[in-house]
Every structure is written in C-alpha cells, then in structure tokens.
Chains A and B, each alone.
Chain A
Amino acid sequence: MSALEYLFVGFQDVVDPGILPWLTVGVTLGYVVGALPGLGKGTGVAVSIPLTFYLEPVAALGMLIGIAKGSGAGSAVSAILLNTPGEPSSAPTALDGYPLARQGKAQKALKMGLYASVIGDFLSTLILIGLAAPLASYALMIGPVELCAILLFSLTFVGGLSGRSLTKGLIAAALGVFFATVGLEVETFVPRFTFGLLELEDGISLVPMAIGMLALAEMIVQAGDLRTLDAETANIKDGTAREDRVVLASEWRRCIPAILRGTAIGSAVGILPGLGASVGSFLSYGATQRLSRTPEKFGTGMIEGVAAAESADNAVVPSSLVPLFALGIPGSVIAAILIAAFILHGLTPGPLMFKEQPRLVADVYAAMICASLIMLIVGCTGQRVFAQVIKVPLRLIIPGVLLLCSVGAYMETGSIFSIYVMLFFGVLGFFARKLDFSFVTFLIGFVIGPKLELSFRQSIQILGHDMTNLVKHPIAVAFIFLTIAVVWWIGRGNRPAAAARHLEPDVAAAPHNTGTTRNQKGG
C-alpha cells in the first residue's frame, strides 16, 4: 500500500464510532483545560493517561493528542476575554485580543483566534505527516552552538517590540533576563538570588509570573478606573453590528500573511528541540509587528496580533512531534509526556514505527487531522458560551478573575508560594503599565534569557573554549552576522516604526496604555 492509501484506511478507522467520540472528548477537554488559567496541556495529558488504559490504542492516542491540540485553542479564550492567558504561550494573544474585546469586538477576536489556531494546527499537522522523516535529520544539525546564535538573533525582536521608547524596552527586557536568572545555576547548581527559599531553587515559574504581570496588573489598573469603566460598559458591550462580530474580508487579507508566517515560525520552533510554544508565539507576534505598516498600533486591538500569536502557538504542537516520530526524540514537554503514552499503547516512536506499524501511524495521523476539524466545531460552540462573559459588568468580573488568577498560579506547583510570586509580579506589572514599560519585552527576556544562557555555556564546552572552532558551525556564524546587521539597522533608527512615530507623534499610541485609553479609542 502507498502512503496515501494508508492514510485513507486511517480515516476509515478513525470515523469508527468507537474512536471519533473519544477524539471529541479529548478536544473538548483540552479546550476547557486550555481556557482555565494555570491548567496547561501538560497537566491535562498527564492526568488523562491512566484514563486511557481502558481504551483502544487509536482512541487513546487520539484523545491525548486531542487534549494537547484543544488546549492550544482554548487558551486564547481567556486571554481575549479576561486578559488572563490560559497558557503562557497565549500571552501575546491577550496583548491585542483583550483591547478588541473591550471595544466590543470580542466575537471577532475569538473567531480570528480560533481560525488562526485551526489553520496553524492543520498546516503544521500536514508538515508533520509530509516531512517527519526528512526534516528530523536536519533538526539534529541544530545543536547548542546553532541554537545559541538563533536565540541571540531572536533577542533583536526586542527592538521592534519596545513601544515608544527603545531604552525602556531594553530595560524591561534586561529585567526579564534578570528575573530568569533566579534559581539554581545550570552548571554547578549554585543557588542564585534564592534568599534561602527552596521554592526559588527551580527559578520563578512562568505561569504565576505571567498571570501576575498580565491579568493581575490589568485588574488593578481597571479597579482604579471603575467609575469610568462602568459608564463605558453601559455603552460598549458585546458589539451587535456585523463588522464587530465577524472577521471581514479586508481583515482576512491582512491576517492571512500573519497566520502563514505564524505557522511557519511555530512549526520551526516546534521542530527545534527545547524552545517551546511560548517562544513560538512571542517570536511570531514580534515578527508580525515588525513587518506591519502600523507597528505603533499593536497593543491597541490589532487583529493581526491575535492571528500571529495563535497560529504560532498551535503550530508548535504537531510539529514538535516531528523529531518524536522521526527519531524518537521528544522536542517539547508535551512530546515527552506523549512518548510515555505512545509506548504504553504499543507504538514506540522512532523511525522503525513507520515500517513496523504503518496502519497505527496512519490512524494517528488521520486522528490528528480530524482533531483539527473537531477543534473548529468545538471552538465555535464553546466561544458562543464563553463570550457571554463580556456582557458582565467589570465590577463583577474583577473578583472572579482574581480568583481564577490565584487558582491558576496555585495549580502548577500546588503551593501558596506561587500566589505570592503572582502578587509580586502583579505589583511590578502595575508599575510597568503606569510608567509605560513594555512587558512584552520583559516576557521575551524572561523566556529566552535562560535558554540563551544554557546554550551559551554548552557552546563554550562544545567549542572547546576556542572561538575559532566556530567556523565548523556555519549556521551559527550566519545568525551571528544577521544579529549584528539587525542591531546596526535598529541603531541607525531606520525602523519604519520609528519613522512613523517621528511623523505623527499625536496619532501614535503607546502600545501598553491603560484600559481607559483603549476603551476610548474603541468607543
């Protein structure tokens, strides 16, 4: 049988009444888990593995993959409606999604988020199916030395995301890197800035930190403006006009390049080991803002921002299975958890599985494609329910969100300490907003900093403490030169963003203004 015939048989297997319902259960479960802050896909899948003992292999694997995929789409919902990313990788979705929701365009933002999620996920699944084997061998060429150069290059996105002041953006990014150094140092396990607290030995956890910086800080700002906001909520609720509820053709035209770019970035990040979905969505958001004609408007409700972040976020999941399927290497946390589930159900990931169990592999592929489509249906139904949130006055939402924030921060480690971490960063985030420091660059510094440090230390050892050994790593050299070029370009002030700002200083808005300004713009 040819590959296509196998895939056809796979679809026949998956449509079986013993399998398709489980796939739907998985996607729905994932969607809900994703929408709840703090409950990530990792937890969702790990807790469900014992439940799948009693299922057939295809149903079990389909359900687990469904959870992983569904949660990627679900996490956009709370990011857009409550400014509380369901998972850290959806943090950039909140940057433009939440302003859109406050402008009465929640439905539009939710729809765009879902479509971008489904498209990113679907295309990335096709990449997995078509390219698993050939791509994986290239992924192994990317070692620590190459990774270090790539990460260095990605730090230049800070330049594009800094908002009105490059200096403030750089300060925020440096602070992000600084907070990421807390914890055991990777080489000799010397504790840094832990103040004797065992809870800080593993570093500051991304989830409570992001919840504090984004959601909690936003709630504090809004609580300070309640009277204005109440008046506005009375005027702008869920938009009823068609152009507020659906994605218009003109917006599609603007979003499609963002989605395709997001998918490409997300897929690449997924294939490269150890980067993770957060890096993917932040890079995609950064790239889209940088290439936009109106970069200064990002953060005030640009639909492309939602599309870019969500497509990359969801593209990471399927493509992180590429190294798993082709070489048996887990490229992400979720792949590492799935590897155990795959083996339990009789499919050992690796190059041999295509030869030994082509039918099971085809079934899994078919299940993954079906899961993309189910995600679209579940998402459309789900967001109609969730979108009602926007009609509730903020007075009632703030306490609810604070509760969700606390639960979300608590969930990951099961420790009250995480709530203190959240509170600390809530206060920091509040001042960042008031003083107009970009927390996007802060988060980028926080996410990329530790990976850069580790890969730099690894590179020193691998290069044998000798710079000249770099010539054996042409990919790394290329990225280093690219970095230098971009830094030079930014330094000369040739950014379109900067130019635009010089021309129309009054129109240009601060990307991270208070909720009040956003609402005034929307109203």
Chain B
Amino acid sequence: MICFTRRSLLRAVLGAAVGVAGFASAAPADEFPAGPINMLVGYGAGGQTDLVARAAAKVISDQLGVPVNVVNKPGAGGAVAARDLMQAKPDGYTMLFHSNTVVNSASFIMERVDFKPDDFEYAGMITAYQVGMATQKDSPFDNITEFVAWAKENPGFSYGALSPEARLYMEEIAKKNDLDANIVPLQSGSEMINALLGKQVVLAFSGGIHYRYPDELKTISALTTFRHPSAPDVPTIEEEGYPLGMDSRTTIFLPKGTPQPILDRLGEALKAAESDANFKKVTDAADIPIMYLGVDEAYQEMEKTYAKNKEIIEGAGLAAN
C-alpha cells in the first residue's frame, strides 16, 4: 500500500514537472517527436539484442519520421544503461531497448541492482528469448524426466551454466532428484555452443542461440512458461512438474513519468516491427520469435514476471538483495 501511494505521488509530481516542461518547450506531447531519439542498448555492439535493437530502431525511425540513434552502453548486464535511463528526462527522447531481465531477474541476482517494475515506463515488448536446455542431437534423452533418469545412472555429469539463473535450474533439479552434477561456468553464448559441440558438457543452459544449430543440437526443455515457437514439441519445464519458467523479452524502457501519449505513440511505432519485412529478416536469421506486447500489456507482463521470478529465485535461496 505504501508503495502504491508513493508511486502515485511520484507520478503526480513528475507529471506536473513534465507538464511545466511541456509548456516551456516548443514540442508538447501531441507533436512528439520533434527531433532525433536516442535509443540506449545495454549490451555491446554486435550481440543478438543489439542487432534486434538496431532493426527495431530502423522501424521506429521510419514510423515516426525522425532519426533513432542507437547508443551502446554496456555494463553489468544492462544495469548501467538502465540506471542512466532513470536519470534521463522523461520526454520520450531517451529510451532503452533491453531484455526485461535487467528488472525482473538481475534485481534478485546482482547485489548492486535493485530495480522495480514501476521504476520505469514501458512502450512495449517485441521479441521473446527462447531460453531452454540444449544438448547434442544424439543424446539419449528428450526431456527433463528422461534426463533425470539418465543422470541417475551417470553421476558426475557436466552441465554448462552461463549465469546464476542457469545454475539455479540444475541445482533445483539436482536437489529434487538427488543428482550429482558438475556445473561448468561458461561466459558467453558462443562458449556454450563450443562446449556442447565439443562434448565438454552433456547439457547446457541456452539463451536461444542453440536453435541456429538444428543439425547438431536439440532442445530438451523450454525454461519459459510457453513452448518455443522454434521447437513446439518440446515440453516446458513447468509441464514436467518444476514451477521454474522464467520469461524474458526485449522491452522498450522509458524514464518514469513519460506522458502516456508519448508511450502510446512509441508503442504504435514498435508494433509496426511485427509486420516489417526487414525486421523479420533479422529475427528469423537468429531464430528469435516476435511476440509483441503493447504499452499496458508490457507493464502487466513486467509486474507478473517480477513477482514470479522473485519467488523462484528467493525460493532457491539465491537472492542477493
């Protein structure tokens, strides 16, 4: 309740501030945008999220008729960029294109990060990450249940983990089934692919890039609440009795207090990406499904995943905050 009051109060104060600023400047909200927009990306140039961001920036720029400049601001998995965004003017000219994990999971895992869903406004979400567990094509298991049966016969197997979440999944499964797992730390998606193809690990956590290797790798579990469009026959982890599905999507973040008309205008522009041929070319090339959510749905999704992930991560005794 306190939180709610504070939030509405904050909104009112910021709204008033924006109102004043709006009158003072030559460009009120209904004429948005009157100049170039800066789009922050919390990862370095060239990664998956960066490529999707650049393609989305192109679409938004075409829709709004102003340039959209992509500014890479890597650091702490996007937390540096998100913190900078919080300090930006809430006028719609600075936004952040990033995975919503910076709010809904980094907040629980990284000691110095503590964002909440209502620290930002959202203009929409556009693509989903097909987070899953990947293994070699010829592995003798096709889902978690079969894997557990195999792992009991093969104690001391190696599992590749990119992040604390990735460790969490294996630790939870191992705890529940009394498995003996060696968790191998990996640093990047390409290292994960190497470890799988080189048979250094029997199973690995993947953010979705393993779908580029359909001839060598297969998915045994979708770690999301939905089945992956790229592998509709593979069950989700929840279907197999572990309530651990954590969804993540690329999201457009804006500073708290950005006026609703501006959010709607940006949301509309982002929606055009859903049917844009060039955007689809980029996402198809990387096997990234487009799953558009509008302004209000994005906010709900954020609140929902935040609450759920908090429960999962704290339940596993991993939370840093």
State the A residues within 8 Å of B (CB).
42-43, 45-47, 49-50, 53, 140-144, 184, 186-191, 194, 196, 198-199, 201-202, 273-274, 327-330, 333, 336-337, 339-340, 343-344, 348, 350, 352, 412-415, 454, 457-458, 461-462, 464-465
Are A274 and B75 within 8 A (Cβ)? no
- Cβ of B110 within 8 Å of any chain A Cβ, yes or no, is yes
Tell me if B60 is interfacial: C-beta within 8 Å of chain A.
no
- Write out the residue numbers on chain B whose beta carbons fall within 8 Å of the beta carbon of A274: 190-191, 194
A47 touches B110 (CB 8 A): no
A-B pairs, top 10 by smallest CB distance, nearest first, are A46-B45, A337-B46, A46-B46, A201-B76, A343-B285, A461-B182, A140-B198, A461-B184, A187-B185, A330-B190
Q: Which of B80, B187, B188, B282 has the most CB of A within 10 A?
A: B80
Q: How many A-B residue pairs have CB under 8 A?
A: 135
Q: In the bound complex, do residue B46 and residue A462 qualify as a contact, i.e. CB atoms below 8 Å apart?
A: no
Query: Contact between A144 and B200 (Cβ–Cβ < 8 Å)?
Result: yes
Chain B residues near A462 (CB-CB < 8 A)? 158, 182, 184, 200-201
What chain A residues lie within 8 Å of B74 (beta carbons)?
202, 413
Complex contacts, B35 vs chain A, CB 8 Å: none
A465 to B201, CA, bound (A): 15
> Is the CB–CB distance between B51 and A201 below 8 Å?
no
Q: Is the CB of A344 within 8 A of B285?
A: yes
- Closest chain A residue to B212 by CB distance? A328
B73 adjacent to A413 (CB under 8 Å): yes
Beyond A46-B46, A189-B163, A339-B212, 4 extra complex contacts between A and B, CB < 8 Å: A46-B50, A198-B83, A273-B190, A274-B194
Name the B residues within 8 Å of A141 (CB-CB): 198
Total contacting residues, chain B, CB less than 8 A:
54
* Binary flags per residue of B43-69, CB closer than 8 Å to A gives 1, else 0: 011111011001100100000000000
Closest chain-B Cβ to A487's Cβ sits at a distance in Å of: 27
List chain A residues, Cβ under 8 A from B266: none
Measured CB to CB, the nearest residue on chain B to A337 is B46
- Which residues 111-161 of B sit at the A interface, judged by CB distance below 8 A? 111-113, 156, 158
In the complex, whether B222 has a CB less than 8 A from a CB of chain A is no
Given A144-B200, A198-B83, A202-B76, CB of A352 within 8 Å of CB of B215? yes
List residues of chain A with CB within 8 A of the CB of B186: 458
| Interchain CB contact under 8 A, A49 and B75 | no
Q: Given A340-B286, A461-B182 in contact, is the A143-B200 Cβ separation under 8 Å?
A: yes
- Alpha-carbon distance between A376 and B79 when the two chains are bound, in angstroms: 43
Q: List 30 A-B contacts (CB under 8 A).
A: A43-B46, A45-B46, A49-B51, A49-B54, A50-B58, A143-B198, A186-B187, A189-B110, A189-B164, A191-B112, A194-B112, A198-B75, A198-B80, A198-B113, A199-B75, A201-B112, A202-B74, A330-B193, A333-B46, A340-B46, A344-B281, A350-B213, A412-B44, A413-B80, A415-B75, A461-B183, A461-B184, A462-B182, A462-B184, A464-B182
B174 on the A face (CB < 8 A):
no
Report the separation of the CA atoms of residues A344 and B163 in the bound assembly, to the nearest whole angstrom.
28
Which residues in B have some Cβ–Cβ distance to A below 8 Å?
44-48, 50-51, 54-55, 58, 71-77, 79-80, 83, 109-113, 156, 158, 163-164, 167, 182-188, 190-191, 193-195, 197-198, 200-201, 212-213, 215, 278, 281-282, 285-286
Q: How far is the CA of A53 from the CA of B59 in the complex (A)?
A: 14
Inter-chain contact B46/A144, CB cutoff 8 Å:
no
Please give the distance in Å from A36's CB to the nearest CB on chain B. Answer: 15
CB-based nearest B residue for A351: B215
Q: How far is the CB of B208 from chain A (nearest CB, A)?
A: 13
With CB as the reference atom, state the residue of chain A lying closest to B284.
Answer: A343
- Tell me the minimal C-beta distance from B122 to chain A in angstroms: 22
Give Cα A143–Cα B184 distance, bound, in whole angstroms: 12
Tell me the bound Cα distance from A46 to B54 in angstroms.
10
A336 — which chain B residues lie within 8 A by C-beta? 46-47, 188, 190
Q: Whole-angstrom distance from the CB of A47 to the nearest CB of chain B?
A: 6
**What residue of chain B has the Cβ atom nearest to residue A336's Cβ?**
B190
* A328, B54: Cβ atoms closer than 8 Å: no
The answer to whether B79 and A198 have CB atoms under 8 Å apart is yes
Contact check, B200 vs A42: say whether CB atoms are below 8 A apart: no
Q: Which residues of B contact A350 (CB under 8 A)?
A: 213, 215
**Which residues on the A side are within 8 Å of B164 (C-beta)?**
188-189
Residue of A nearest to B40 (CB): A414
What residues of A have a CB within 8 angstroms of the CB of B109 in the complex?
189
> Once the chains bind, are A344 and B46 in contact (CB under 8 Å)?
no
B51 to chain A, nearest CB (A): 5
Do A186 and B184 have beta carbons less than 8 Å apart? no
Distance of A415 Cα from B71 Cα, bound (Å): 11
Chain B residues within 8 Å of A461, by CB: 158, 182-185
Taking A45-B46, A273-B194 as contacts, is the C-beta distance between A199 and B80 under 8 angstroms?
A: yes
In the assembled complex, the CB of B108 is this many whole angstroms from the nearest CB of chain A, namely 11
- Distance of A415 Cα from B73 Cα, bound (Å): 7
Of A140, A454, A457, A464, which is within 8 A of B156 by CB? A464
CA distance A273 to B73 in the complex (A): 26
CB-nearest residue of chain B relative to A453? B185
Q: How far is the CA of A474 from the CA of B48 in the complex (A)?
A: 37
B75→A201 contact, CB < 8 A: yes
Name the one of A329, A414, A454 contacting B185, with C-beta atoms under 8 angstroms.
Answer: A454
Nearest CB on B from A48, distance (A):
10
CB-CB nearest in chain B for A191: B111
Contact partner of B184 (CB less than 8 A), chosen from A184, A188, A458, is A458
Query: How far does the Cβ of A78 sit from chain B's closest Cβ, in whole Å?
Result: 21
Residues of A within 8 A of B215 (CB): 350, 352
A381 vs B78: C-alpha distance when bound (angstroms): 41
Residue of B45, B55, B191 near A47 (CB, 8 A) is B45
> Are A140 and B113 in touch, CB under 8 angstroms?
no
Of A140, A142, A202, A344, the contact of B75 (CB 8 Å cutoff): A202
A47 and B74 CA atoms in complex are apart in Å by 15
Q: Which of chain A's residues have a CB closer than 8 A to the CB of B200? A: 143-144, 458, 462
A340 to B45, CA, bound (A): 12
The answer to whether A201 and B79 touch (CB under 8 A), given A46-B50, A186-B187, A461-B183, is yes
Which one, B194, B212, B278, contacts A53 given CB within 8 A?
B278
Question: A residues within 8 A CB of B110?
Answer: 184, 189, 191, 201
